Structure 1
Amino acid sequence: MKFTKLVLAMGLAAGIAACSQQPAAPQLPKGVTLVTVHSQLKDGVSVPYKKYQLDNGLTIIVHEDHSDPLVHVDVTYHVGSAREELGKSGFAHFFEHMMFQGSENVGDEEHFRIVTEAGGTLNGTTNSDRTNYFQTVPSNQLEKMLWLEADRMGFLLDAVTEEKFEVQRETVKNERGQRVDNRPYGRLGERVAQALYPVGHPYSWPVIGYMDDLNRANVNDVKAFFLRWYGPNNATLTIGGAVKPQDVLPLVQQYFGSIPRGPEVTAAPKQPVSLDSSRYISMEDNVHLPLIYMSFPTVYLRHEDEAALDVLAQILGGGKNSILYKNLVKTQIAVQANVNHPCAELACTFNLLALPHPASGKNLADMEALLRDSLAEFEQRGVSDDDLYKVKAQMEANTIYGLQSVAGKVGQLAINQILTGNPDNLQNDLNRVNKVTKDDVLRVYNTYLKNKGSVVMSVVPRGKLDLIANTDNFTPQELDFGGPSTTSADDLQVRRAVDTFDRSVEPQAGVNPAVTVPAYWQSSLDNGIKVLGAASDETPTTAMLLKLKSGLYYESPDKTGLSSMLTAMLNEDTKNFSGEDIALELEKLGSYISISASDEHIQLYVLSLSKNLQQTIAILLEKMLQPAFNEDDFQRLKQQRLQGIQQSEKNAGYLASNAFRKLMYGDSILGQPGGGTLASITNLSLDDVKAYYHSHFKPAGGQLIVVSDLAKAELQQAIAPLNQFSGKAPVINVQVPADTSRGSVIYLVHKDDSPQSEIRIGKRSLTEDITGEYFKTGLANFTIGGNFNSRINLNLREDKGYTYGARTGFSADSFTGVFVASAAVRADATAASVKEFIDELSLFSAQGVTEPELTFMRRALNQRDALKYETPNAKLGFLAQILQYDLTPGFVDQRNAIIANISQEEINLLAKQHFDPKDMVIVVVGDSAVLRPELEALGYPVEDLTL
């Protein structure tokens, strides 16, 4: 589960769309009222739906989408951290966790198990204004999902025990450790909020809460919070996919209709703030680079000035044509600089961020002056036609891209209903941005930024307070909320439903929906690129993935990072256009081109509105065939990469992964990080990049996967210009070194100031196959660490509270592979976590799976196909396998047959062969002085490892 502070980046518009109507109500189940029927707009972007309401106040939205045999169920409650009280922060996010811990008729950990077994995915998120829970499952599983969601809405509290409360409190602490306290700059947001908002403002505390508040709370406090906010009258149930209202509504009424209303909920007042003068605050952190962050208070969600402020943010700091990029990044004064305008229901902020480049010699006071100079420059520069055009084009494209999945459509309907009362605001949003004028943008600049107070936050490396922007002039008020809470069960006003059926009976799923592999066609270009195309007509878009035979494995260890530096250079100037010119044209088309490197490929990803595909491919070819390879661009990117590597070395997860790779493959190319090392990047020259481009950036043997709403003939004509690309790269010659790793040894990597430790336990393993032993070991892994209800995750997270999540898995290519178990754990539970990992792996290796576990695996994996082919990107990933391994569609049936028929004996033999921890190295990243004695007590040799 995750929490976010921001509402969807796209604004949400008020008012009912013009085509909404209130027809005569058809025959509906008792207690269900039709509110609105909203049809597809003839002109514009929209999501059709029907909206209903139960007598208890629950809002139901149904969206029909029969393109895939799946359904997405979302329950959104209009409660987030903004509904909490001083001294009781974090309750909304805490209840996001508790809602997955079982309810009166659903056993402990059963929610995850049931959805996983149904072949579905699930999660929940919390932000300042809402909490949502969602599942995507095959359509025959709908009733079961409604049963689950209704049970935790109406029958949760009796299942919230003291023991569950304590375990989840530890889990939240681990989440905070992983996402906030042990992450560089992780506390920036909460420190800024403390300074920006007055004491008691709903946004003045973090969504995840303060641990002191959760430590003071008892189980009755969170129960009281649930009773106040989680009634059906404060919730929206949105169902989208292969469903019909006449089938859905009787089920909704059955499972939700008897749940009593909660206390009435009124809209929270809008609470934008203003500052008379700037507030300076600072913090030392375990970071490599200092950071300055300026936050100006502005308006609130749906305010008439919100759209113009969004446009202003793009002009100042959005992409290569922004003022900050030109002034700070292009000139190598800053490694990074950007601007955003996140808006929440009650208040918004306008934020500028910059990290100075060490070589520039600038401190944060200098950076603040440069940021303010850039604001003044905008005032003189004004707004261009292109500024407005590109923002409006991107808005249109992003809106359409967001509708490629049923989850995306349902998510939009749900959040719009909760925050505006109108589920489909998409065209209203576009209209709102399209109405922004140049004068509007200048006006909001003068109103909210010019000569206005802001919070100016300095984050500096430890011992570097001399770098801060200014002396702190603001200290947050210290509040004393006393000792442990005294809230008792007698203080709770529990509501109970009365039913005429037995809720303890889990609904049975209907017949599995028929799932077919997407139809596709194959061809090839004259230059040796194999092409595989498939149709996807839900949105007028085209997605392309071009894979060229290049990447890390084609490099030498002393030049590691060459492929990734080349792909970065291909995003810069060409011989005919500047990088800024190209970026502007892509923005005006609403298109995206991403070029990246992996172990075996350079990958070029394209996403375009189909109407703009021809122009987008022309830009792609310009990038591919006409790179300018300017020395200034290279030096800037090289310095950015070096700073990025040094910053990554402050991240425990990065250190753990690099350490594990080094132990597996030594100094060979397979043991190197794809982005390079400080030594290898320092060693690179522009001539190296040019030489690599001319020898290795070639089409022969490449693979192009295209998913589009265009007809085959039209699509083939659109991609024909790629034949201008010619040549053949050298054949790869990967030398996999002998395995010299030593099992049952703990390698300790020191990272100071570590509230958490990172653990990696693993060994070399199989190369990748599609239907062979590698595939089958993945089936075995499902039980031990391949899903939420796996043995290891339930042990370390749910039973012990040591971690936010633990997992195991195999990864491989055609040359080599590894098995790895991993987790970020509480520092004081490091040795205990290592022991639990080893014990679980040993037991699994010795005894294998049980019959119930085998049945669970079969059901879960055999029903996932409905989710595999839904979106263009999902189709790209699936079809890429077919090209890479020269497969026929029958491989899907072969895999399903293996899942259905693999025996317990075969799984257990695989467990014995591949999961014995005696063969595995153990990597621990944390405070070595503290951890060494604890780890030595486990009885393993402990060796320091320096990267």
Structure 2
Amino acid sequence: NNSLLYKNLVKPRKAAQASMYSSNSELSGEIMVQVIPFTGQTLADAKKLVEDSFKEFEASGVSDEDLARFKGSAESQFINTLSSVSGKVSLLAMAQTVTGNPNQIQKRLEAIQSVTKEDIIRVYNQYVKGKSAVILSALPKGKNVQPLSSDNYSASNAGYKAPDYGYNGLKYVKAKDNFNRTIMPGAGPNPSIKVPAYWKSTTPNGVKMIGTANNEIPSVAISVSVKGGGLLAAKDPSKAGLADLVAELLNDNTQKYTAEQFSAELQKLGSSISATAGEDEIVFQVSALKKNIDKTLALLQERIFHSNFSEDALERIKKQTIEYLKNSKNQPAPVAAAVYSKILYGKDNVRTIATVGTEQTVANLTLADAKVFYNTNFSPSLTSVVVVGDITEAEAKSKLAFLNTWADKKITITPPAPGKSFYKTRLYLVDIPKAAQSEVWAGYLTNLNYDALGEYYRLGIMNYPLGAAFNSRININLREDKGWTYGARSAFSSGKFGGTFTASASVKASATDSSVVEIVKELKNYSQNGISPEEVIFTKASIGQSDARRYETNAQKAAFLSRILEYDLAPDFAEKQNQILNGISKNEIDVLAKKYIDLNKMIILVVGDRERVLPGLQKLGYEVVILDADGNVKQ
């Protein structure tokens, strides 16, 4: 948030978003500028501001600090790419393809550090300044918003000559070996997942800590989680959205730095610090290279304890949030997520809007509300810290010692109200006029909490061939066999306050009613007839093999340790999960399917073009209830 586009478009509240990026491949690349203006700003206004920003760049040039920010960010991003097997393979394969030598890591790092200010200006002049561009105006349906200009471009092959790729005269030479390519290679035995050695500690003021050392790359990831989040809106539902607002304010100005200065410091270090709000927590996520961890944690301390909530930032964030909420009502996917929650939990249940809020609740939030929330609800006894990477326990405790002086306060978090139960399948429809695709969701509240070794874990195994694997029944049916969707799925999801089972897909509008029929058919068949012996074998092998790559990166390890801390899991829980996976029988899975894939408990939600999809849905035999985008019943 220290770019010229941010300064000239976002900060003065003329656009919700403004960004520029490049994507480069072996044969070509793309440079794109994307702007989402606020209501009242025309696309012509936005284009003028972008052009003015280019002129400002040409006049001001590249500063030493600009260059330092680029180098710090690029170095960190490149190093962190090496944290996973897929990242390593991608870099090695690309280097081999482009240069003929896979070992280019050190050269890439040297290339980053060798970039000069003159290089940047040269590239700008060569690829951006004065260059022609394809300009796309994406307009909201049903609104009187004018495109930047009328269409004036159509693709033409006139004068095109296909390049010579060097294929002429080549002769295919079949490989000579004893490998039988008609037989798919079998997978090896499932790896035994061992939880890495980790340490746990609690500070005198109640901060819970957990960590593990890993020096494969010189990088550190830290998360600081403060319980509460959106659920705190249960105390006063009129303040729904306050948790998200406070998190965004925590990402803005501090007492020592403006938001732009803070971002610049992080970029020079190649570090990141971000605060996000969830239903039951606000989390600070930190990533830093080992060599810059001290300076990064000094910035984290500034962000947590010395933020400077301002009226200007408040109004900008409120405007962005309200614009996001308005735009979401024109898109089937976010409408489906919001309305599905309101159907299951009840429209008046605050947990359906607690974290982000509504247009009305966000508009009424004040700076005083934000300060009261922060001063009242942040406490060390509600805080947990996860530390992963190239850092020892002693180093972590020493560098995070600033948390030890945090004064504790007792805070009560009210559990959310329970949701609704259904005893007959009912179909709900939300109208998004002219939508090219429909969202189809089916599910119910399971009332099951997360359990690493109990029935909840076993439900994940049961659901895998139904809707979790790529070749699951639901995905094969709707995507591979019918071609109606890019992906269809089902999942059980639970935390500490119950959970859901949901099957869902984004499908082309003409197949909406048929998709409902096929999803219901797959759910009913699995519930009644259970899993096949072949699916049992596949599920055990697939889950067992994929587990080996679920804890590679620092972020993955941090999420794993966070779960151990959150649910007080034993060190050997992953081994016990592996035992459950290997030992579960077809009969056990069939019993779970019959018990939990119960269509009588489920509702079906369709979000799409009412005029186009309603006639087909009415023929399916369900009671059809028409809702608006806020979940209110319509006639």
State TM-score, norm by structure 2: 0.91
Other-structure match for 1:858: 540
Shift of 1:352: 2.5
Partner of 1:467, secondary structure, is: coil
Q: CA deviation at 1:892?
A: 1.8
Asked if structure 1 preserves the Cα contact closer than 8 Å seen for 2:95 and 2:102, the reply is yes
846-855 or 912-921, which deviates more:
846-855
Residues 204-242 of structure 1: CA distance to partner in whole angstroms, max 9, x if unpaired? xxxxxxxxxxxxxxxxxxxxxxxxxxxxxxxxxxxxxxx
Q: Which amino acid aligns with 1:695?
A: T
Any conservation in 2 of the 1:785–1:806 contact (CA below 8 Å)?
yes
Change (3 A) 1:673 1:478: farther
CA-CA distance at 1:505 after TM superposition: 4.6
Number of equivalenced pairs: 613
1:585 alignment partner in structure 2: 265
Task: Give the aligned residue type for 1:336.
Answer: Q
Mark the CA change 1:755 to 1:441 in structure 2 (over 3 Å): closer, same or farther.
Answer: same
Match of 1:577, SS? coil
Q: Structure 1: give runs of 5+ residues left out of the alignment.
A: 1-319, 480-492
Summarize the alignment of residues 316-395 of structure 1 with structure 2, pairs less than 5 Å apart: 320-358=1-39, 361-395=40-74
Q: Corresponding residue for 1:656? A: 336
| 1:70-121 deviation line (CA, Å, top 9, x unaligned) | xxxxxxxxxxxxxxxxxxxxxxxxxxxxxxxxxxxxxxxxxxxxxxxxxxxx
Distance 2:567 2:142 in 1: 54
Distance 1:626 1:899, change over 3 A: same
The offset of 1:430, in angstroms, is 3.2
The alpha-carbon distance between structure 1 residues 381 and 533, as it changes in their structure 2 partners (threshold 3 A), is same
User: Which residue does 1:441 correspond to in 2?
Assistant: 120
Contact 1:521 1:533 in 2 (8 A): yes
Equivalent residue letter for 1:338 = S
Residue number in structure 1 paired with 2:231: 553
> Contact 2:192–2:575 at 8 Å: present in 1 too?
no
Deviates most, 412-421 or 722-731: 722-731
Aligned twin of 1:691: 372
- 3-state SS, counterpart of residue 607 of structure 1: strand
Deviation at 1:461, TM superposition (A): 3.0
Residues 928 and 452 of structure 1: CA distance in aligned 2, closer, same or farther (over 3 Å): closer
Residue 622 of structure 1 and its aligned partner are, at CA, apart by: 0.5
Shift of 1:510: 4.9
What residue in structure 2 maps to residue 792 of structure 1? 474
**Distance across 2 between alignment mates of 1:778 and 1:512:** 18
Instruction: Kindly state the Cα deviation for residue 839 of structure 1 after the two structures are TM-superposed.
Output: 1.4
**Partner of 1:907 in structure 2?**
589
Cα distance change on mapping 1:337 and 1:863 into 2, 3 Å: closer
1:507 Cα deviation from its structure 2 partner: 4.4
Displacement of 1:935 after TM fit? 0.7
Provide Cα deviations, 1:660-705, integer angstroms capped at 9, x if missing partner: 1000111212222632221221222221111111111222132111
What's the CA shift for 1:708? 2.0
Asked whether the equivalents of residues 212 and 392 of structure 2 are also in contact (C-alpha less than 8 Å), the reply is no
Residue 469 of structure 1, CA deviation:
3.1
User: What secondary structure is seen at the aligned counterpart in 1 of 2:379?
Assistant: coil
Q: Which amino acid aligns with 2:199?
A: W
Q: Is the 8 A contact 1:412 1:424 kept in 2?
A: no
Deviation at 1:366, TM superposition (A): 2.1
- For residues 297-320 of structure 1, the C-alpha deviation after alignment (integer angstroms, 9 at most, x for no partner) is xxxxxxxxxxxxxxxxxxxxxxx2
1:736–1:816 contact (8 Å) kept in structure 2? no
- The equivalent of 2:167 in structure 1 is none
Match for residue 531 of structure 1?
A: 209
Deviation (angstroms), 1:901? 2.3
Query: What is the aligned counterpart of 1:806 among 476, 488, 508?
Result: 488
2:575 maps to 1:893: yes
Query: CA 1:856/1:469 → structure 2, altered by over 3 Å: closer, same or farther?
Result: closer
1:417 correspondence with 2:99 = no
Alignment correspondent of 1:879: 561
Paired with 2:125 and 2:180, the residues of 1 have a C-alpha distance of 63
Call closer, same or farther: CA 1:893–1:434 in 2, change over 3 Å: closer
SS in 2 for 1:602: strand
Letter in 2 for 1:670: R
TM-fit CA distance, 1:735: 3.6
- Rounded to whole Å, the distance in 2 between the matches of 1:457 and 1:932 is 32
Contact 2:193/2:574, CA 8 A, preserved across alignment:
no
Equivalent positions of 1:592-611 (< 5 A) are 592-611=272-291
Deviation of residue 447 (structure 1)?
Answer: 4.3
What residue number does 1:458 align with?
Answer: 137
In the alignment, does 2:510 pair up with 1:828? Answer: yes
- Is 2:318 aligned against 1:638? yes
Q: Distance in 1 between matches of 2:366 and 2:539?
A: 51
Amino acid at match of 2:17: Q
Structure 1 residue 577 displacement after superposition: 1.4
2:274–2:285 CA contact under 8 A, matched in 1 = yes
- Structure 1 residues 430 and 867, CA gap change in structure 2 (3 angstroms): closer
C-alpha distance in 1, partners of 2:585/2:129? 70
**Counterpart position of 2:195:** 517
Q: Are the structure 2 counterparts of residues 824 and 351 from structure 1 closer, same or farther at C-alpha, using a change threshold of 3 Å?
A: closer
Deviation at 1:742, TM superposition (A): 5.7
User: Contact between 2:225 and 2:383, CA under 8 Å: does it hold in 1?
Assistant: yes
Q: How does 1:79-158 map to 2 (within 5 A)?
A: none
CA contact under 8 A between 1:561 and 1:677: conserved in structure 2? yes
1:449, 1:879 → 2: CA distance? 45
1:681 and 2:362 aligned:
yes
Over residues 634-679 of structure 1, what are the superposed CA-to-partner deviations in whole Å (9 max), with x where a residue is unaligned?
0001101111112222221111111110001112122226322212
Q: Which letter maps to 2:344?
A: M
Residue 75 of structure 2 contacts residue 112 of structure 2 at CA under 8 Å; is this kept in 1?
A: no
Q: Say which SS state the counterpart of residue 458 (structure 1) adopts.
A: coil
Distance 1:552 1:580 in 2: 27
- Sort the Cα spacing of 1:650 and 1:417 in 2 relative to 1 into closer, same or farther, 3 A: farther
Deviation sequence 1:858-885 (CA, Å, 0-9, x none):
2333344422332211211111111011
Q: Match of 2:202, as an amino acid?
A: S
Secondary structure of 1:923's partner? strand
One-letter amino acid matched to 2:147: I
Q: 1:567 to 1:466 in 2, by over 3 A?
A: closer
Identical amino acids, percent of aligned pairs: 40
Q: Please, what is the CA RMSD of the aligned residues?
A: 2.3
Match of 1:700 in 2: 381
Q: Deviations over 1:415-435 (max 9, x none)?
A: 222233232333333333333
Amino acid at match of 1:798: E
Note if contact 1:365-1:467 (Cα within 8 Å) is conserved in structure 2.
no
**Within 2, Cα distance between the matches of 1:865 and 1:463?**
47
By how many angstroms is 1:504 displaced?
A: 4.0
After superposition, residues 210-221 of structure 1 pair within 5 angstroms as none
Q: Distance in 2 between matches of 1:346 and 1:618?
A: 43
Letter in 2 for 1:377: E
| Matched-pair contact (CA < 8 Å) for 1:663–1:741 | no
**Structure 1 counterpart of 2:238, which letter?**
D
Secondary structure at 1:456's aligned position in 2? coil
Matching of residue 542 in structure 1 with residue 220 in structure 2? yes
AA of the residue aligned to 2:20: V
Q: 2:438 aligns with which of 757, 765, 770?
A: 757
Verify the 8 A CA contact 1:831 1:935 in the aligned structure 2: yes
SS of residue in 1 equivalent to 2:381:
coil
- Once residues 324 and 506 of structure 1 are traced to their aligned partners in structure 2, the CA distance between those partners, rounded to angstroms, is 52
1:566 equivalent in alignment to 2:246: yes
For the residue of structure 2 that corresponds to 1:663, the secondary structure is helix
The SS at the match of 1:538 is coil
SS of the residue 1:705 aligns to: strand
Does structure 2 conserve the Cα–Cα contact (< 8 Å) formed by 1:811 and 1:819? yes
- 1:647 corresponds in structure 2 to 327
2:212 aligns to what SS in structure 1? strand
Deviations 1:540-580 (A, max 9, x none): 11111111112111213332221111110001111221111
